[in-house]
Amino acid sequence: MRRDKLNDRFQELGSILDPGRPLKTDKSMILSDAARALVQLRSESEQLKEANEKLQEAIKDLKAEKNELRDEKMRLKADKERLEEQMRALSAPPPGYMPHPVAYHAAAMAAFTAQAQAAVANKTGHYYMYPAVPFNQLMPSSNTDCTQDTKHVSPNA
Over residues 112-127, the pLDDT tens digits come to: 566 666 655 555 555 5
Give Cα 124 to chain centroid, integer Å. 61
* Least confident among 58-72, 85-99, 139-153: 139-153
Contact 29, 35 (CB under 8 A): no
pTM strictly above 0.75? no
135 pLDDT higher than 60: no
Length of the chain (residues)? 157
Q: Which residue has the higher pLDDT, 94 or 80?
A: 80
CB atoms within 10 A of CB 68: 10
Over residues 25-64, the pLDDT tens digits come to: 788 888 888 899 999 999 999 999 999 999 999 999 999 9
